[in-house]
Amino acid sequence: MIRLEKRPAPSRAWGVAAPLLAVTLTMAAGAGLFALLGTDPLAAIRTIFWDPLFNEQFASYSRPQLLVKAGPLILIAIGLSLGFRAGVWNIGAEGQYIMGAVAGAGVALAFYPLEAWFIFPLMVIAGGLGGWAWAMIPAILKTRFRTNEILVSLLLVYVAEQVLASMSLGLMRNPEGGGFPGSRNLQQYPAAANPERIAGTGMHWGVVTALIAVIATYVLLHRHMLGFQIRLAGQSPRAARFAGVDPNRLVVICLGTSGALAGLAGLFEVAGPAGQVSIDFNVGYGFTAIIVAFLGRLHPVGILLAGLLMALTYIGGELAQFMLGLPAAAIQAFQGMLLFFLLGVDVLSNFRIRLGRREVA
């Protein structure tokens, strides 16, 4: 009989090994899924995980895409990880991402066609504030009325999507766009554009910000009192209260930070790779970032690696779609599967497996 015995403290070795095992298991299960869809599973796995980086034909296009896609994922996931550690569940990052993009693009469009150095910094501030303000709604409702932040933040995603639709069809519609929905293209407005900083790398300001966020969060969590309080509140809310940690303050800080970072991610996306506010410019980074945060074990360095891996599945997925006719939804299911395996193998870091006869508990 297999029995699970709780470990006194989570195993550190398994903490590192579990995500790797989960990725391996997901690849195996994914191969099965692709085989069911009638695609050669080995070719599919190679196209998704190997070709974007090392295939001579595609790598020159795909490699820069890695940072372009990983940037927003890492930036959002870093913010989410703070909350997830403290037991504050912000799952509406997608909405905060949209609102950040709308606020930032709004600043740019208000100044159009002025060319001035201060426009881009103002947009960055507006983007962060937009996401922050959207996240403050669940935060204030949680602290004032004890309303569940999971439901409120998620429901606000649908509201944000309506705001986005309203903006791209109305207020922000390009007056020279011939009646098509969507704003002016910010890539063609130098003062507001967020182009590649180093040619051929995909590195834009959003990626730089993501790297800064990784380092800052690492310092915060391991060297700062607030980081200690966040970890304490997540592991033992009762102990945290006795230690004088104000739970409401943590809710506001965690939701505010994750909202601001998601808003920044949205802004850098709309000013850079996406280029314009349009009805469907958001592609679900806010939700995928939840997987990234867990895959990275809520640790900044882990999130950095997980973000790169998840970006790879996006790029490889597109490539597989193009080369092998693998449906786009297969990659979405694949990403969801990864989170399942990850949560499943986590049992190994918290429990020991014992073989033997079960006693009467």
Partner 1 sequence: MDLSAINPVVLTASLMVAATPILLAALGELVVEKSGVLNLGVEGMMITGAICGFATAVETGSPTLGFLAAMAGGAALSMVFGVLTQFLMSNQVATGLALTLFGLGLSALLGQGYVGVKPPATDRLDLGPLADIPVLGRILFSHDLVVYVSLALVAGIWAVLRFTRAGLILRAVGENHDAAHALGYKVVRIRLMAIAFGGAMAGLGGAYLSLVRVPQWTEGMTAGAGWIALAIVVFASWRAGRVLLGAYLFGGVVVLQLNLQAAGVAVPVELLSASPYLVTILVLVVMSADRGRAALNAPACLGRVFHASS
Which residue's CB is nearer to partner 1, number 192 or number 232?
232
CA distances from 84 to 11, 209, 233, 250 (A): 20, 21, 10, 11
What is the total residue count of the chain? Answer: 361
First to last CA, the chain: 14
Query: How far apart are CB 340 and partner 1 at their closest, in Å?
Result: 5
Task: Tell me: does residue 118 bind partner 1 (CB under 8 A).
Answer: no
Enter the tokens of residue 124: 């960055």
Enter the tokens of residue 91: 């799952």
Determine if residue 352 is left, alpha or beta; phi over 0 gives left, psi from -120 to 50 gives alpha, anything else beta: beta
Per-residue DSSP letter, 358? P
Residues in 33-92 at the binding interface with partner 1, rule: CB under 8 A: 37, 84, 89, 91
Task: Tell me: does residue 325 bind partner 1 (CB under 8 A).
Answer: no
Query: Can you tell me which of 11, 187, 321, 350 binds partner 1, judged by CB under 8 A?
Result: 350
Query: How far apart are CB 339 and partner 1 at their closest, in Å?
Result: 4
Query: By the 8 A CB rule, do 271 and 188 touch?
Result: no
Query: How far apart are CB 351 and partner 1 at their closest, in Å?
Result: 7
A 10 A CB-CB count for 109 gives: 21
Which residue's CB is nearer to partner 1, number 5 or number 176?
5
Task: Tell me: does residue 99 bind partner 1 (CB under 8 A).
Answer: no
One-letter amino acid for residue 206 of the chain: G
Binding part of the chain for partner 1, among 122-130, 197-205, 250-258, 321-329 by CB under 8 A, reads 321-329
Residues in 205-244 at the binding interface with partner 1, rule: CB under 8 A: none
One-letter amino acid for residue 162 of the chain: Q
Which residue's CB is nearer to partner 1, number 58 or number 334?
334
Task: Tell me: does residue 339 bind partner 1 (CB under 8 A).
Answer: yes
Half-sphere exposure of 274 (CA within 13 A, CB side): 26
Task: Tell me: does residue 17 bind partner 1 (CB under 8 A).
Answer: no
Query: How far apart are CB 314 and partner 1 at their closest, in Å?
Result: 13
Which residue's CB is nearer to partner 1, number 154 or number 262?
154
Cα–Cα distance measured from residue 220 to residue 227, given in angstroms and rounded to the nearest whole number? 5
Binding part of the chain for partner 1, among 174-182, 215-223, 225-233, 339-347 by CB under 8 A, reads 339-347
Task: Tell me: does residue 308 bind partner 1 (CB under 8 A).
Answer: no
Query: How far apart are CB 152 and partner 1 at their closest, in Å?
Result: 5
Cα–Cα distance measured from residue 195 to residue 193, given in angstroms and rounded to the nearest whole number? 6
Enter the tokens of residue 161: 């999507």
Per-residue DSSP letter, 359? P
Task: Tell me: does residue 9 bind partner 1 (CB under 8 A).
Answer: no
Query: By the 8 A CB rule, do 79 and 258 touch?
Result: yes
Query: By the 8 A CB rule, do 92 and 304 touch?
Result: no
Q: CB-based contacts of 152: which residues, under 8 Å, 6+ apart?
A: 92, 137, 138, 141, 142
Residues in 129-188 at the binding interface with partner 1, rule: CB under 8 A: 141, 144-148, 150-152, 154-159, 162-163, 165-166, 170
Binding pattern to partner 1, positions 276-295, x when CB under 8 A? -----------xx-xx--x-
Task: Tell me: does residue 31 bind partner 1 (CB under 8 A).
Answer: no
Binding part of the chain for partner 1, among 121-129, 255-263, 270-278, 325-333 by CB under 8 A, reads 325-333
Question: For tokens 């850098």, what's the residue?
Answer: 268
In this structure, what are the phi and psi dihedrals at residue 182, rounded to the nearest 5 degrees?
Answer: 115, 150
Contact residues toward partner 1 (CB under 8 A) are 4-6, 37, 84, 89, 91, 141, 144-148, 150-152, 154-159, 162-163, 165-166, 170, 287-288, 290-291, 294, 327-337, 339-340, 343-344, 346-347, 350-351, 361
